[in-house]
Amino acid sequence: MERRGEAGGRVCMSQTVFPAHADHRGELSAGQLLKWMDATACLAAEKHAGVSCVTASMDDIQFEDAARVGQIITIKAKVNRAFKTSMEVGIKVTVQDVLTNVEKIVSVAYATYVAKPVGAGKIELEPIKLLSAQDHLEHTLAIERRRIRLGYEQVFENLMLESNKEDTFEDEDAVSTEFTHVQSIELVQPPHANHHGNTFGGQIMAWMETVASISASRLCHSYPILKSVNMFKFWGPSVVGDRLVFNAIVNNTFQNSVEVGVRVEAYNCEEWIKDQARHINSAFLIFNAVNDKGQLLTFPKIKPTTKDGMRRYRGAVVRRRIQLARKCMLSAKEDKPSDPWERSNQAYMSYSNVATLTHLAAKLGWEITSTLDDVKIWTHEEGDVLSLKVEMQVKIPSRLAFSLLSDFTLCQQWDKHVLSCEVLQAVNEDEKIYYVTSLPVTGDKPRDFVILVSQRQPCKPSEPYVVAVKSVTLTSVPPSPEYCRSEILCAGFEIHSESNSNCKVCYFNQVTSGLMPYLVANLTGSSKAIEDTALECIKFLEREGSKS
């Protein structure tokens, strides 16, 4: 039996899909699924917090596969990380066919819950205890996802400012968005709320899905299928007795999909008379629709008729841009050319930079290749991907090593392969883009790189400092004939504190195919070039360390 706090709250819910849970196609309705996901995740959060929790938000949710009547749904939720008063809960939904036992993923989502005892303020949470390598990995990535979550509005606003161009709507067949406006109302009753009288977040999401799907159906004359949701945020609570008013409207259409925006306002009896709404929730839901043969239907073009409609129309385009950027970044891509550095994908690039390094560092099966007193070299092979780890014992505090290694303009002082290094863009305190030139590997041409360096400080002394590196493409710095443009897929440092005056620096590099022959030869030989560079790095760190 797991006890509270042992490995973060973990909860599992299993359900059989009955006709009452299904839509007209006999598939589990998205609304019902959202209710189960929210309840399971909230229970996991409460298992860790030991007090009542409320849903603050549910990140982008993608629905991969449908579950049908008679199949079995399993929802697993686990607290990945406790921040101060909030927690990230990871949710994985799978469906199993009773006859074949085949299991498929329905959805993977992340939600944030805030510990909020009834009638009291928020409370500070205990950190979760990490038992497995997977727990460690999710714990590290949770803070990266939080950066994206909390920075989303800013990214969105910046992109909206950039996209401030006038759209023209000349298509005569375009449908007015007003035609898709749907309003609905619900009275919150005891079965819709938890034992404290707070409306279930999952229930609100289910009601939103119903209204949004009616709005989308006005355009496709068919039954829309929910594909994804662009973040549910719960701005404020609602309780039993509240009237919830839902307004849904199509914001934009994209060939085979449609974005519907839903706004939820709550009123108690007094507010109802005075027409004083509480805005408790807004979300953007993406649907597609299929014909009898299962082929995707094309949605008609739409035209907004008001200033607000115009803003929502442009907002949908921006959200789609961010969504596509997210998909590109989070899907494992290993080949050139590196992704372009654009406003819409910066948060995901940084996430993917740190996440890829963290994944690499957490891999099992590293094999030791060479050992000196202070330097150990490890390799890792997976299919045709070779990765390298160089472990260095350094007699300076970890914080100092971090500040010296995260400034790439200093790397010429210890890596003799580097010819020059300059900052191209100081994006923010934690992110910089550098232009680096280095000695040729094969042939005569020196190499050049455009790299994103993301640096992260640990939240707790037991966690490492991280400096993650990957190539990016900048349109302002195209490849030039004098240099061979080279790519870094995943590289960087993890710096672990060993004592007040010692640290262990681990350098990682996922070797690109161009460098493979060179490195393999080098590794099976004396590994001398790598060892020499590592020894120079230690010397540099200890020399600089002694000055401060």
Binding region for ligand HXC (CB under 6 A): 38-39, 42-43, 54-57, 83-86, 112, 114, 116, 149, 194, 198-201, 233-237
Q: Which is nearer to ligand HXC, 53 or 537 (CB)?
A: 53
Q: Which is nearer to ligand HXC, 88 or 487 (CB)?
A: 88
Q: Which is nearer to ligand HXC, 45 or 495 (CB)?
A: 45
Give least dist CB 314 to ligand HXC, A. 23
- Eight-class DSSP state of 21: G
Q: Which is nearer to ligand HXC, 91 or 491 (CB)?
A: 91
To the nearest 10°, report the CA torsion of 112, 227, 351, 516: 140
Q: How far apart are CA 395 and CA 504, in angstroms?
A: 9
Q: Which is nearer to ligand HXC, 229 or 392 (CB)?
A: 229
Q: Which is nearer to ligand HXC, 130 or 142 (CB)?
A: 142
Q: How many C-beta atoms surround the C-beta of residue 366 within 10 A?
A: 17
Give least dist CB 233 to ligand HXC, A. 4
Interior/surface letters 507-545, b for 16+ CB within 10 angstroms, e for the rest: bbbbbbeebeeebeebbeeebeebbebbeebbebbeebb
Give least dist CB 130 to ligand HXC, A. 18
Q: Which is nearer to ligand HXC, 60 or 415 (CB)?
A: 60
Element housing 61 (H / E): strand 61-62
Give least dist CB 230 to ligand HXC, A. 13
Give least dist CB 246 to ligand HXC, A. 15
Cβ proximity of 232 and 58 under 8 Å: yes
Q: Which is nearer to ligand HXC, 200 or 341 (CB)?
A: 200
- Give one word for 420, left, alpha or beta, with left for phi > 0 and alpha for psi -120 to 50: beta
Query: β-pairing, 465-471 with 86-96?
Result: unpaired
Give least dist CB 358 to ligand HXC, A. 21
Give least dist CB 280 to ligand HXC, A. 7
Q: Quick one: angle between helices 133-162 and 307-330, nearest 10? A: 140
Q: How far apart are CA 448 and CA 468, in angstroms?
A: 18
Give least dist CB 312 to ligand HXC, A. 20
Q: Which is nearer to ligand HXC, 86 or 228 (CB)?
A: 86
Give least dist CB 251 to ligand HXC, A. 20
Give the tokens for residue 38.
Answer: 């929210």
Q: Which is nearer to ligand HXC, 124 or 482 (CB)?
A: 124
Which H, E and C letters describe 96-134, residue by residue? ECCCCCCEEEEEEEEEEEEECCCCCCCCCCCCCCCCCHH
Give least dist CB 143 to ligand HXC, A. 11
Only one residue has tokens 């959805």, namely 107
**Residues in contact with 180: Cβ distance below 8 Å, sequence separation at least 6, in sequence order:** 215, 216, 218, 219, 248, 249, 250, 260, 302
Element housing 403 (H / E): helix 398-405
Cβ proximity of 346 and 155 under 8 Å: yes
Q: Which is nearer to ligand HXC, 83 or 435 (CB)?
A: 83
Cβ proximity of 339 and 108 under 8 Å: no
Give least dist CB 349 to ligand HXC, A. 21
- Compute CA 226 distance to the chain's CA centroid, rounded to the nearest angstrom: 20
Write down how long the chain is: 548
Q: Which is nearer to ligand HXC, 87 or 469 (CB)?
A: 87
- Compute CA 120 distance to the chain's CA centroid, rounded to the nearest angstrom: 32
Give least dist CB 153 to ligand HXC, A. 9
